[in-house]
Structure 1
């Protein structure tokens, strides 16, 4: 059985650690090189200590050159710079986890065309692609809460979103708001109405419903927990609750990781999985859709592996059948 040779650039961060945890047990993946210039020569498990006993692989200073696919786990703005300095063979697939190639204006780069990698929206395009721009974590949750409405032309008024994320959403770089002593027992907002994920959300909604265009008003929250996103998304609607719930079920009938749940949701249902759970309810004219997912998996690394599976014609769920830790 042919193995997919995988390279990973930016191997020391949270998303890289989750990618490695998945790929080490993926039946068709073979790690070729894990690049971290600051850790070259060190054991991967010395940084990602959840992998102690799982692998003896060391960080490398550069790719091996034989990779079938390369994951870029670099900070926003750094993927373009890395590809300019390190051009890859035309046949090498790229899956980028930054925001460098998510928007239409950025998807053509150095002879590559990046496809926006939300499988529930662009599955066929991803299967035919060579390079994929992995969506943002908040963007994934909010889009999955809205795509069925957009596809049915049912977004007819502004959308309001409140969503909270765990501390891993800020990455590993230290700042005041990621310190335990600041986060513990604390909640705060950041980038209200200006969050960078709004642009990709808007493009996806207009892809399904060009007119009328609606505004998404988004207030993100920092939570005092480690991982997960809980999003509350609401907008006026003339649909009944039953009609809306059936609309969502039909839209996601063939989506293996997105499920419309009967009961109200909580984060522990999805942490450590590649699932997004949705719940639909109606109060007066307001249709409320809640969405929960793991920001490091369905919001980043798990979705990236889902995209790899689609690129290489593998079952979409391969290597991603992960169970939540409830207790």
Structure 2
């Protein structure tokens, strides 16, 4: 469905015509550009847009099917950029991703959004409040969309860092070192970091191309104003910070999982030592009682009046000796 359609000239908005076939012609006639926003369009709806703006069939297929990785494709009549906005749900501590596809061409911008996260109304409103930036043409829309997505990455990275600190405090708690469900929480957190990385990692190369810092691939990109490179470099710097943060989160959560498993192993060893110590203490009186329970006729001190209290005293003395020995070695 078409969420919004407007023509922009010198940074000012004018509502687009009802018939899409007139939108591009009208925008070019006034020296401006048309920006059409769609949300999860059907194939029939998008065919009208694709035909009007001569969008490449491969890019159209990607925009309809979604589930693409971040990438930048250059075609004869347009530029195609895929972004994956990230949404963090604090109640369930989960990260989910949507998709934004941007078609950029001579006098037009078409944005296609899939998923509920990262609506573009905020981006459009912010751009319309900055007519100087919006007056730079379609490139300003591409920059604003990329900047909005990457800035939200920073917010999600901060939320994940807070969750990781809480998880770390739980693992290294002096009380019990984490519950039995801690390992599953750590593993689930690692999955969220992996989902986040799938959105941020592949975006580095497209932004490097747009900012002109991509080495051999960092030449001029068609349909993008070269004067916008400093803006894209700023977005790329923010993305670099995000990717460094994601790398740090991934390493830390792996270290925390290793520390948790090591703590579990140490606790199990302590438990086994305690069990072994108590078993050894129980074995001594059992052995003595077993010997005196064999009912032999000729046994040492068998008919002595003080045999029973003497054997009990011997058992108690041996128990005390074993207890103090195990206690001094830290087994109890």
| Structure index of larger Rg | 2
More strand by share: 1
TM-score by length of 1: 0.25
TM-score (norm 2): 0.25
Greater fraction helix: 2
